[in-house]
Chains A and B, each alone.
Chain A
Amino acid sequence: MAPPNFNVTNARQKLATLRTGTADPVSVGAEDLPPHYDPAEVLSHGSHLLKTASFGDIERFAVLEQVFVAALDTGNIDIAKTHLATIEKRFPFKSSVRVQRLYGLLKEAEGDFDKAIEIYQTALEQDEINVLTHKRLVAVLSSQGKRTEAIERLVTYVDAFMQDVEAWAELASLYIGESMYQQAAFCFEELLLLRPQNHLYHIRYADLLYTLGKLDLAVKYYCSGLELCKDNLRALYGLRLASSALLDQRSKQRPSGKGSKGTSSVVSDNKNQDVEPVEEGTLVALQKLSGDRLSALYEKQGKEGATLALVAKGWLQCQE
């Protein structure tokens, strides 16, 4: 019995797209990409395909795996087990790391995380560069709250796969969870090198710098974030906060010593920082600009955003 809206070609196409993560630019319209992963749909369509359609071996096992994962996602452990048995018949557990990983997934779904971790670890002993198993292991560890172990695993991982953006980002968030901001900032530096066009990394990095008190640099990174993404609200807030904080800091320092006229040569309290400080005039201008932009953005929302605009304005006024 075919599921509703079932079409062999389309189903195969969709499953393939989900597997590879890229949509065929010719057959898929601009509006419906990337495809939405619906485990229930994958399960029903995939199961039906496995029963009716004739595949080559490569595709058949890929679909089996996909359906297995979808079954786990939807909680159909029994279905998943039968599929896993089919796969295992062809690729024995011992020789195939991939099958071992699928076992790990099954254990995770059953809630036996320790067993899963053990499976992943033995698998990694067999094939230590297996990316997916690595990541899986890190995911299980972090979801189990074993953040330190996760960080440890991930650090060994990024040692080998330093191009992996996802891993760096995960590592950064793990560090942040452990309040190890310095290490997190390092991760973001790697990310900025790998994805310099991504404004979010700039802004997140600026946030971290702000947290670390490197305000000059924070201002600069907020600005570079804004440069990549105009009127980014978070960046504007960050810039406002950072520039205000920096101005405050400067005004506090001025009466205590060094009665200069606020020239740029004044080095902030960050001793080891060889960052050129931002001129005061610029800071003032940036502070004003970010404030103006924020209020302008809120005003643009019209009636719906009226309250929000008021709150924002209030906040801005109290800042001054």
Chain B
Amino acid sequence: MLLLLLACLLCTPVFSAIHVDQAGATDWHKELVGTPSHVFYTRTGQRSQLFVGTERNVLALISPKTGNSVWRQVLEPSDDLLSVRLGSHGLVSISGRRLIHTRLWDAQTGFLVWDQSSDGNVSKPAADLTFTGGGDVVTLINGETVTRLSGEEGSILWSSKLETSATYRCIYAHGRVLYLIGTKQSRDYPEVSIIQMDAITGRIIEEYQPPNGAVRASEDIFVAGDVEHVYLYWNGVARAYRHILGRQADVEEVEEVFGIESAEIVTVLQPETMHPDIIIRAKDKYLIARNPHTVVHTFQRAHLEGNIFATAHSLGKTHVLRLTRGSGKELRAELVDSTSAKAIGTYSIPFIERMSGPVQKAFLDVFPKKDGSIGFRIFIITADGSTKLLKDGAIVWTKEEALTKASAAVYVDLPEKSLLSQVHDELNEQPEETASITSIERYMRRVRSHYNKVKALPERIVAMSKYLFGSSNTHDDMDLRADMLGVRKVIVFASKTGKVVAYDTERGRTVWERYFGGISFWQVENIRTSVVKYPPVITLVGNRDESTSLLYRLNALTGDDYPGDGSNATSEFGLIRKVMRLPLEEPEDRTHLLALVGQDSQVYLHPDSPVARGAFETFLPTFHLYLTEGVGSSELGGFKVAQSPDGNYKLISTWKVEFPDDEKIAALGEVSKHEHVASLGRVLGNRSVLYKYLNPNLLALATIATTGTGPFDAQFTSVVLLYLIDTVTGSIHYRAEFKGAGHVLPDIPSIHLVQSENWAVVSYWNHGPEAAPSQIDQSTIETEQDLKKKRKKKRKPAAATSFAVPDAKGFEMATLEFYESAKPDSRLESNTFSSFQSKRPHVIAQSYAFPKRINAMALTATGAGITTKEVLLGLAEGHLYGVNKRLLDPRRPVGAPTADEKEEGVLPYRATLDFNPKEVASYHLYVPRIEHVLSSATKLESTSLTIAWGLDIFCARRSPSKAFDVLSEGFNYGALLTTIAALILGIWVAKGMAQRKKLNDLWK
């Protein structure tokens, strides 16, 4: 430690940004694309390619070897991917909501070739497309507009809007004829409806409904095109039917066609062939059939549930694969050559269903091996939404695409090397133990822990020297123990798809993963840290359906149920609105109690035990909470909890803030529970102190009020209001209006708010003065602009023009700081803080234009809060960016700074916050669509561990005040150690010489 300090004095840690060789040394990036909804696994000769279009509106070409994307195109979150087809020119996609884009992407590079847009209908989002002669694209949008686009340049050749009552979902081209297949609502069931169309002119030839066309859902209709005819299969309400398109009355029963009993079409596998394989489920078996009458193969063993089929066309043959569930730990794959009707083999592949859920979809690639036999790869999508590639009976790679839907995450500190917990064990003696053990036994314990410490010493020295010489990152084995700097932690992600994954923060390796079928997680709480000898425990909160919430308790290091015997690991409740971690511990296993607020205004305890209830009841008088439906609602209520006569806990409303009808909550700032405030006040240049208004119950809240439909509407006005509300009393301490502020577009939420200590930062889009509402109640409200005006008045009375919204459309960030008093050195006269007696804070505010679009906003966290905070921004262009709080300081002087201000070190005010490429945490990496940013303190005060996720996952360390407690990378440890060694040697030599001299003098 002393060495570190000494070295600190020597080194000059003035650096920002990072060097090329540091990229990836302390950070990691997981590139994801989302759960694929459209997959094209193609093979040309020796090369196979995997194109995906995903639920997260990403188009990508994935390398089947590594799972990484060769290219990917990330569309806007509002640009929903509706349909994707791979054609000869490239990948064609249809996407959008209000505006539908049809785009052609170059298959090999991912470059956009052309883009054709048309109006969309939000209520009917279905779209399909097909290719017709010469590579032209025919699109069916919203089930009603058919358009033929030139494959070369995307120009519209013809477009026709269908005047029909039926809804069309599917389009199929066969020679000169286009078939649209959809359903028409009749009395009980939808009925199959077909339109025949001329592909060249777009003229409708006819629309008809074949007989027996009633189906349960439109998913029961299958098209199986052949060389001569196009066959349409559907599972009718009672039986399955086949119809040749164009022959109006020609409907056959599938049972008769293939001569089987109780047939049900499972799927039609449609590789790039003119002979699609139709998978039919007969009474107790599955069959592969081909048009017009052939049954190619019957799968022998009857696994009726969980059958997944895939097909591949290569080597001039078509192969069909059936994946079935073996035991819980393997998959059984059966490969059939459907061209020559020959079973090739059955393989078993290890696969743990507990970790990812059953297989949902599979895609096959068959290739010849060097020895002439057939090899195959299977790309699977599992129930959690993640993808895997299987080859030769093993998993080649896994991509946790489920985490693109991660809704919550929590950091788990790893336990210290057993020593600390052992000492803790030793000290943590229970009274009964004290009575029973002898002093010798206790002494032996002491000796034992000393012995263990000594034993661990060489290891520690090695670790220390490894750290000093910068090779700590080379070891690959995962050690679930805390490291020296506290940067090794576990982060647990929980997704809306029921997937839970734990990564280590050092390298991003998977620690464990689990899948909870059908659960949509929305919160994770760390209910026991690992400081004590027990393992850390987390609680996952998720909803099963509209009326059931479940809580799972897991050991955060292994992912196993906690407690280990499985009892009480899962608890079921009615729908829960809010989960709060209480500052109370269960005495037995030392887990924190959770308070759950149900939809029924009841409060539940988890775990619920008489002891827990007792603790909770003593805690009740000081327990206040607030509830809101969150972003989009216009109500905020404060509650306390009381015990009703039947022993249940009920919410009692204490206050309620109702915003006017047009005002909706846009963002809530919640102070992190782990925050530490290092200083009570702010020291000014003249040595006086401005005391911070530190109210732990203060909630910053931003609402938005708009009129008109959107920014292009002449009536459009927009205001963002910022409130500071005491959540115990409900009193509004402060309210500010940002006129003309709002979302960029209704689709793109742009209001973000963070709150910490005594300040808040809000970001919004400024629509300019024309969007500012005209009637302004100036008498009561002091807005930020007013303040500015006042400030200007003081300095230049002539500049006191009427209030103005900056006439520059753009993103802005407003920063607000709350102080106990406007005057320095004056404090509230009370020893203890009480929300019931609190005065209003004095608020200082300033706003800045910011040149980039912000998708997410969060703060860094450090151990003691001494380090300056950094506002972390997820930028729309795919960066994680940090803005130092020093720049977002509302006390930045307008005009020339005074001597005092110079002394204090505040920067002069500038209206813009420049984009500084050095502050991009993700350097050159493209980290698109950051939605959440979570920081955690490390043992280094300067360093904050930060993870950003949304689509990708990116983990980096941030040091807003530079790495003041770390030696610079280039520090010459060698020179330091050599100097010390030389000094020791010198002393030793000089000592000998002095002794000699003394002896000679004595014996002169």
CB of A91 closer than 8 Å to a CB of B: yes
In Å, the complex CA distance between A58 and B1003 comes to 9
Chain A residue numbers with a CB within 8 Å of B996 are 57
In Å, the complex CA distance between A61 and B1003 comes to 9
Chain B residue numbers with a CB within 8 Å of A61 are 999, 1002-1003
Chain A residue numbers with a CB within 8 Å of B1002 are 58, 61-62, 98
Chain A residue numbers with a CB within 8 Å of B1000 are 91
Chain B residue numbers with a CB within 8 Å of A97 are 1004
Interface 1/0 per residue, A270-281 and B, CB below 8 Å? 000000000000
Question: Which residue of A is nearest B996, CB measured?
Answer: A57
Interface 1/0 per residue, A116-158 and B, CB below 8 Å? 0000000000010000000000000000000000000000000
In Å, the complex CA distance between A223 and B674 comes to 90
Inter-chain contact B995/A56, CB cutoff 8 Å: yes
Interface 1/0 per residue, B957-990 and A, CB below 8 Å? 0000000000000000000000000000000000
Inter-chain contact A96/B1004, CB cutoff 8 Å: yes
Inter-chain contact B999/A98, CB cutoff 8 Å: no
In Å, the complex CA distance between A175 and B260 comes to 151
Question: Which residue of A is nearest B992, CB measured?
Answer: A57
In Å, the complex CA distance between A87 and B1002 comes to 13
Chain B residue numbers with a CB within 8 Å of A98 are 1002-1004
CB of A235 closer than 8 Å to a CB of B: no
Chain B residue numbers with a CB within 8 Å of A56 are 995
Inter-chain contact A57/B1004, CB cutoff 8 Å: no
- Distance in angstroms from B1003 CB to nearest chain A CB is 5
- Distance in angstroms from B294 CB to nearest chain A CB is 103
Chain A residue numbers with a CB within 8 Å of B1003 are 61, 87, 90-91, 96, 98-99
Inter-chain contact A58/B1004, CB cutoff 8 Å: no
Residues of A in contact (CB 8 Å), total 14
Please provide the chain A residues from 37 to 58 with a CB less than 8 Å away from any CB of chain B in the complex: 56-58
- Distance in angstroms from A126 CB to nearest chain B CB is 10
In Å, the complex CA distance between A55 and B967 comes to 45
CB of B827 closer than 8 Å to a CB of A: no
Please provide the chain B residues from 488 to 541 with a CB less than 8 Å away from any CB of chain A in the complex: none
CB of B161 closer than 8 Å to a CB of A: no
In Å, the complex CA distance between A104 and B996 comes to 26
Question: Which residue of B is nearest A130, CB measured?
Answer: B1004
Question: Which residue of B is nearest A59, CB measured?
Answer: B999
In Å, the complex CA distance between A87 and B996 comes to 15
Chain B residue numbers with a CB within 8 Å of A127 are 1004
Residues of B in contact (CB 8 Å), total 8
In Å, the complex CA distance between A313 and B1000 comes to 64
- Distance in angstroms from A282 CB to nearest chain B CB is 56
Interface of B is mostly: helix
Chain A residue numbers with a CB within 8 Å of B998 are 58
Q: Which of A58, A95, A97, A98 has the most CB of B within 10 A?
A: A58
In Å, the complex CA distance between A96 and B1003 comes to 6
In Å, the complex CA distance between A62 and B999 comes to 10
Question: Which residue of A is nearest B1002, CB measured?
Answer: A58
In Å, the complex CA distance between A98 and B1000 comes to 11
Chain B residue numbers with a CB within 8 Å of A95 are 1004
In Å, the complex CA distance between A127 and B1004 comes to 9
Q: Which of A57, A62, A87, A90 has the most CB of B within 10 A?
A: A57
- Distance in angstroms from B115 CB to nearest chain A CB is 92
Chain A residue numbers with a CB within 8 Å of B999 are 57-58, 61
Chain A residue numbers with a CB within 8 Å of B995 are 56-58
In Å, the complex CA distance between A56 and B1003 comes to 15
In Å, the complex CA distance between A61 and B999 comes to 9
- Distance in angstroms from A183 CB to nearest chain B CB is 34
In Å, the complex CA distance between A56 and B998 comes to 12
Chain A residue numbers with a CB within 8 Å of B1004 are 95-98, 127
Question: Which residue of B is nearest A90, CB measured?
Answer: B1003
- Distance in angstroms from B932 CB to nearest chain A CB is 70
Interface 1/0 per residue, A89-112 and B, CB below 8 Å? 011000111110000000000000
Question: Which residue of B is nearest A99, CB measured?
Answer: B1003
Q: Which of B996, B999, B1000, B1003 has the most CB of A within 10 A?
A: B1003
In Å, the complex CA distance between A189 and B995 comes to 43
In Å, the complex CA distance between A57 and B996 comes to 8
Please provide the chain B residues from 447 to 478 with a CB less than 8 Å away from any CB of chain A in the complex: none
- Distance in angstroms from A288 CB to nearest chain B CB is 59
In Å, the complex CA distance between A91 and B1004 comes to 8
- Distance in angstroms from B677 CB to nearest chain A CB is 55
In Å, the complex CA distance between A61 and B1000 comes to 11
- Distance in angstroms from B992 CB to nearest chain A CB is 10
- Distance in angstroms from A93 CB to nearest chain B CB is 12
- Distance in angstroms from A83 CB to nearest chain B CB is 14
- Distance in angstroms from A104 CB to nearest chain B CB is 15
In Å, the complex CA distance between A90 and B1004 comes to 11
In Å, the complex CA distance between A217 and B998 comes to 51
Chain B residue numbers with a CB within 8 Å of A87 are 1003
- Distance in angstroms from B996 CB to nearest chain A CB is 8
In Å, the complex CA distance between A57 and B1002 comes to 11
Interface 1/0 per residue, B79-109 and A, CB below 8 Å? 0000000000000000000000000000000
Question: Which residue of B is nearest A91, CB measured?
Answer: B1003
In Å, the complex CA distance between A278 and B999 comes to 59
Chain B residue numbers with a CB within 8 Å of A62 are 1002
Interface 1/0 per residue, A47-82 and B, CB below 8 Å? 000000000111001100000000000000000000
- Distance in angstroms from A58 CB to nearest chain B CB is 5
In Å, the complex CA distance between A62 and B998 comes to 13
Question: Which residue of B is nearest A65, CB measured?
Answer: B1003
In Å, the complex CA distance between A97 and B1000 comes to 12
Question: Which residue of A is nearest B1000, CB measured?
Answer: A91
- Distance in angstroms from B847 CB to nearest chain A CB is 77
Chain B residue numbers with a CB within 8 Å of A96 are 1003-1004
Question: Which residue of B is nearest A96, CB measured?
Answer: B1003
Question: Which residue of A is nearest B998, CB measured?
Answer: A58
In Å, the complex CA distance between A57 and B999 comes to 7
Chain B residue numbers with a CB within 8 Å of A58 are 995, 998-999, 1002
In Å, the complex CA distance between A97 and B1004 comes to 6
In Å, the complex CA distance between A57 and B327 comes to 83
In Å, the complex CA distance between A87 and B999 comes to 12
Interface 1/0 per residue, B428-443 and A, CB below 8 Å? 0000000000000000
In Å, the complex CA distance between A61 and B998 comes to 12
- Distance in angstroms from B369 CB to nearest chain A CB is 78
Question: Which residue of B is nearest A87, CB measured?
Answer: B1003
- Distance in angstroms from A65 CB to nearest chain B CB is 9
In Å, the complex CA distance between A61 and B1001 comes to 12
In Å, the complex CA distance between A127 and B1003 comes to 13
- Distance in angstroms from B454 CB to nearest chain A CB is 29
In Å, the complex CA distance between A99 and B1004 comes to 8
In Å, the complex CA distance between A127 and B1001 comes to 13
- Distance in angstroms from B223 CB to nearest chain A CB is 101
In Å, the complex CA distance between A143 and B406 comes to 109
- Distance in angstroms from B999 CB to nearest chain A CB is 5
In Å, the complex CA distance between A91 and B1003 comes to 7
In Å, the complex CA distance between A56 and B995 comes to 9
In Å, the complex CA distance between A96 and B1000 comes to 9
- Distance in angstroms from A61 CB to nearest chain B CB is 6
In Å, the complex CA distance between A150 and B998 comes to 33
Interface 1/0 per residue, A221-233 and B, CB below 8 Å? 0000000000000
In Å, the complex CA distance between A225 and B1002 comes to 41
In Å, the complex CA distance between A97 and B995 comes to 20
- Distance in angstroms from B457 CB to nearest chain A CB is 30
Given A57-B996, A87-B1003, 7 other A-B contacts at CB below 8 A?
Answer: A57-B995, A58-B998, A58-B999, A61-B1002, A98-B1002, A99-B1003, A127-B1004
7 interchain pairs (CB within 8 A)? Answer: A61-B1003, A90-B1003, A91-B1000, A91-B1003, A97-B1004, A98-B1002, A98-B1003
Q: Residues on A close to B: CB < 8 A?
A: 56-58, 61-62, 87, 90-91, 95-99, 127
Closest 9 CB pairs of A and B: A91-B1003, A57-B999, A58-B999, A98-B1003, A96-B1003, A96-B1004, A97-B1004, A58-B998, A61-B1003
